[in-house]
Amino acid sequence: MAPVAEDGSTTIRQARLADARAIGRIEVETWRSTYAGMLPDRVLLNMSEQRQTASWAGFLRHRPGDVYVAERGAAAPRIRGFGNCGPQRDPGFGFAGEVYTLYVAPDAQGAGLGRQLLLALFTRLLHCGHRSALIWVVRANPARFFYERLGGKLVLHRSIPLGGEPVEAVGYGWRDLAALLDREAQSRAGGSSPG
Ligand SMILES: CC(C)(COP(=O)(O)OP(=O)(O)OC[C@H]1O[C@@H](n2cnc3c(N)ncnc32)[C@H](O)[C@@H]1OP(=O)(O)O)[C@@H](O)C(=O)NCCC(=O)NCCS
């Protein structure tokens, strides 16, 4: 299982079962910092690293190739972000694949891990035959502008259950993952960000 990206201090790779604990921990930490004020406090307070770890261990056992982690630090690498993907859960929306989650730990945000993880997940979807992708984001979450920056188009609105509560969400779509990955590769080769 070779890493898909490595730049000295950052490695993006498929997750292993042993990563479930780090993933569960970051999920709880990131939910609490991201969704404070968007989701009821009780939902955030009731989250448990232990339950999330068990849930990720279950996912990793069944679909090990569909989870990616970002590790930072050359001497003692630590997982600082993760995401997972697979077939679109509701094929009625017209997108083949879906990115189910993407979270970067608060102390590691803004350093390019989110972009690298998203591109690794898109590459995985393409590899599995899914040429387009959808991501749901809480409408009030400024992370939606990250998806716009990465070429996503706002295509859908709906209410989704999050932590057991219905919340307003928006769907960002990418119709042509291969074209996006080409553009990103070219912009990296040219040393600039896509506009
Ligand atoms: C959203 C998230 C995944 C982005 O990851 P990140 O590592 O912080 O983002 P990156 O450093 O890779 O940013 C890539 C680009 O998007 C831009 N960007 C990142 N977050 C942004 C935001 N909230 N608004 C506007 N632009 C943003 C960056 O400036 C960068 O632009 P560039 O092309 O000029 O370099 C991460 O911040 C996160 O996990 N946030 C909290 C949890 C969350 O909301 N996850 C999404 C749930 S659907």
CATH number, residue 82: 3.40.630.30
pLDDT of residue 163: 74
The mean of the pLDDT values for the chain is 93
Domain residues for the domain of 179 are 5-190
Q: Is the CB of 195 under 6 A from ligand 1?
A: no
List of the chain residues with pLDDT < 70: 1, 8, 191-195
pLDDT tens digit string along 176-188? 999 999 999 999 8
Q: Is the CB of 146 under 6 A from ligand 1?
A: yes
Q: In what order do the strands lie in the sheet with 78-87?
A: 5-6, 10-14, 67-72, 78-87, 97-104, 133-138, 165-174, 153-162
pLDDT tens digit string along 121-149? 999 999 999 999 999 999 999 999 999 99
C-alpha 150 – ligand 1 centre gap (Å)? 9
Question: In terms of pTM, does the model score above 0.85?
Answer: yes
Q: Report if residue 195 sits inside a domain.
A: no
> By alpha-carbon position, which residue is closest to atom 33 of ligand 1?
193
Q: Report if residue 139 sits inside a domain.
A: yes
Structure tokens of 38?
């968007």
